[in-house]
Structure 1
Amino acid sequence: MSFIRFGSVAALLVLAGLPTSSIAAEEGRLVFAARPKASEIKAAFPAGATVTGDAEVECAVADKGVLADCKVLSEYPMNRGFGAAALGLSDRYKVKVKDEAGASAVGRKISYSLEFLAPGDANPDWVRKPTGQDLAGVFPVAAVKAGKDGRAVIRCRVTTEGFLDRCVVLSESPAGLGFGQSALALAPQFLMSPKIRAGQRIETEVTVPINWAGLAEGGFASVGKDRLILDPPWKSAPSLAQVEAAWPKAAAGVDNGQAALRCGIKETGALDDCEVISELPKGRGFGKAALGLAEHFKVSVGPGDAKLVKLIHVDVPFRFRPPGATGRQLTKPRWIQMADAEGLALAFPQAARKAGVKNGLGVVSCAVTTEGRLADCEAAREEPAGLDFAASAMIVAGSMRMNPWTKEGDPVDAQRIRLPIRFEDGGDEEEGAAEAPAAPAKP
C-alpha cells in the first residue's frame, strides 16, 4: 500500500496483490507503527520457490507493541515456504501500544498478510500519478458552494497496457456533492504499469481512494463557472483511422500514449478553446495530436440548450496506439439510442406469436460504425430456435446507437460486438422489452 501526497491534496492507492496488512481488532482499530521494508520482503523470498506466493500470520501484541506467539493462518501455494517467510518477518512489525480508541493493544490479536513476488513478477504501480492540479481541476462545484472537502473511492481495471478501464464509484463522502464523478473524471488521465506474472501481462483491479483536502475554501474559480461534464452524448467523434493517422512522428518506438483535453462547447455542439490538461509520455506529441482531433467532436445539443452549453466544459480523454496495433476492447458501450416499446412490439416475430410463444432471445453479431451504429449484423443464436428471434434482433439492432467515443478515450468503430436482445410479447397491448448488454464478438 502506498500513500501519495500532492500539496494540500492527498490520494491513497491500494493495489490488488501488494503486500498489505489486515487488522483484526477487538475494540478500537489496532495500528501498525512499523512494517517490513519492500527490500526485506524481497530478500525473504523462499529459496527454491519459483512462483509468486502469499501468506497470512496472526500474532499477539506484547509489551512495547512487539509481536509474539505468531502462527501461520494460511499460505498459497502450500509447502513452498511462504508461511515460514512471512513468519520470519514478524519481528519487523510493531504495533502502537494504544488503539484508535485509546485502549491498550497489549494482549490482543492482530494479523498481517504478505505477498512475495517471484523474480520478474510485478504488481501495478503508478506511471503517471494524479497531481494536486489534476485533483483541484475537477473539484466539484457543489462542494465549492457547500464549503466542504470530500473523498471518493473508485475501482478500476488495469489493462495489459496500463490504462485504467471500467471504473466505477464504490463510495463518496459527503454524498451528493459530486466527488464520485470527479474521481471518475481523473481516471482517463492516469497510467499504471500492468500486473506481470510469469513474464505475462495480466489484467487486474485496483481500488483508488482519493481525498480532497484543503480545497473547499481554496478560493479558486470552478471550472466553466458552472460545471464540468464527462462522457457527453457525442453526435460525432474521430474514427479509428483518424486516431491512427494522428499518431505523432515523435512517438516512434513508444508502445502507447494518452492525453486529455479540457474544452468549451459552442452553440453548435463543436468543441472550443481546448487545452491539454494531461499528456503521457510528455514531449512525444500526444497533446498536439489530441488537439488536432478536437475538430472531429461534436456534442448533441438539444433544443433550448444553446445558452447552457456556454457554461459547461468537457474533459475529453484520448488513448493512442501505433497504427495497426491491437488492444482496443469494447465491453460496455454507452447506449444513447435504444429501441422504444413500439419498435420492439413491431419487431416481435410473427412466427413466435403464431406458435403461442410469449418471449424469446435473439443474439446478433454486429460491426460498429464511426457514428456508433450497428451494421453488417449476423444471427449468432436464438432461443427458442426456428422462430425468427435472431432476425428480429437484427431489426432492433439497426435502430440502436452507442456513444461513438468511450469514456476511456477510444473510438468504437471497426469492432464487432455480440448483442443479446430479449423479447416479451405483451399480447393485445403489443408491448415489448429488450435487454441489450454488449460483449466482444467471439472469433
Structure 2
Amino acid sequence: MGMKISRIAGAAPLARVALASAIFSLVSARALAETSCPSPSWTRVPSADDMIAAYPAKARKDGVKGLAILQCAAQADGSLAGCVVESEDPAQYEFGAAALKLAGLIRTTPPCSEAQAHGVRIPIRFALPAEAADERHREAVYKIPERRFRKFAPAGPYWPDRALLLDQGGHVTIQCQVAADLKLKACRLVWDTAPSLGFGDAVLRMAARGWMTAAPLPPGASEQAELWWTFEVDFAARSLADEDDWPGGPPRVIPVEPPDRQVLYKTTHAVAGLGPPGGYYPDAAARAGVPGAAVVDCRVNDDGALNDCTVFSAFPVGWGFDDSALRMAKDHYISAAPLPDGQSPAHARARLTIVYPKPQ
C-alpha cells in the first residue's frame, strides 16, 4: 500500500507472501488495570518465509484454510511464554501446532498491567492467498493534505486520533479492485498490525472516499476491473509533544478498554457443521466455506446477559459476521461467562470474541 515510512521488524509485506497469510489480532484476557495502560500491539510478526514453513503440509496440499487461537503469557521483553492451543479448526489439519511454532516469532509491546502479563488470546488465521494476488502489488496515489494536516501525509485528516494520543504507528494491507478512473472499489482489509488503534478503518475510509487511488499502470497496460490489487500503507508514530501539530484539536481523555469475557452459547439454534454460532452463521459465508470472527462490545448484566452491543471488529469484512454477532447478542443466544469466584467486574462493559469456524 502506499507510504514507505517505517516497517515492523521481521514483517514482510503480505503482498509478497506467495503461499500463506495470517491475520493476528491481540485481545487482552482480562480488564486493563489502569487508564494509562493501552492495549498491547505487535512489534514483530512472522515473515513470509516463516508462514510458509509453518503452514501444515496436508492443509497446503488440500488447499485448506484454518484458524487457531492461542492463550499465552506476555513477558517483560515482549516475548510470549506458556502458549497453549485454546482451539483450532479444522482440527485434523494441525493448525494449532503450526500456530505454536509461530508464537516464538511474535513480539508485543511490554505488558503494562497484571492482566496483560497473565494472558493474551491470539487468534491466528491461516489462509491461502487469492490467485496471484501476491504478484499484483500496486502503489497508491494520495490527495495532498491542506497545510495543517501536511505533517500527517499521506493519511492527512484520516490519521486515527487514538494512535496520535498513544504515539503509536501501524501497518495496514488492503486488497481492492480498480475502476477505469483509478478509484478503488470493493476494498477488503487483509492486515492491521494494531486493530485497536483504528488504522485499518482509516485506510478503508481513505479508499472509499477517494483520498487514495491507484497509481496508473505502465504505458500499454489496460485496467481489468475484475482483478484484485494489494496496497500497503505504513503509519509512522507521530508524537503530540507539540500540541499545535495535532489536527484533532485539544487533548482528550483516552477511554479505558473494557475487559474481555468468555462467550457462552445456547443450543437452540445448533446446526451441524457450523460450530457454536449455529443458525446465526452468515448464509453467504456458510455457503462459501468462509470462517471468520467478530468482537462485540456490550454492557453485561449480573447474570451475564448482554445489552447495548456494538461491533468492535469483524473479519473478514463484508461477509456479515458483524451483523450475525449483534443478532446473537440481541436474541440472548450468547452471554458472558461468569467471572471467577470472588472477582468483581472492573467495568460495566466487556468485549466478547465470537469465532466462526470453517463450515464442515
The TM-score, its normalising length taken from structure 2, stands at: 0.37
Query: Quick check: which one's strand share is greater?
Result: 1
Q: TM-score, normalised by structure 1?
A: 0.31
**CA radius of gyration, larger in:** 1
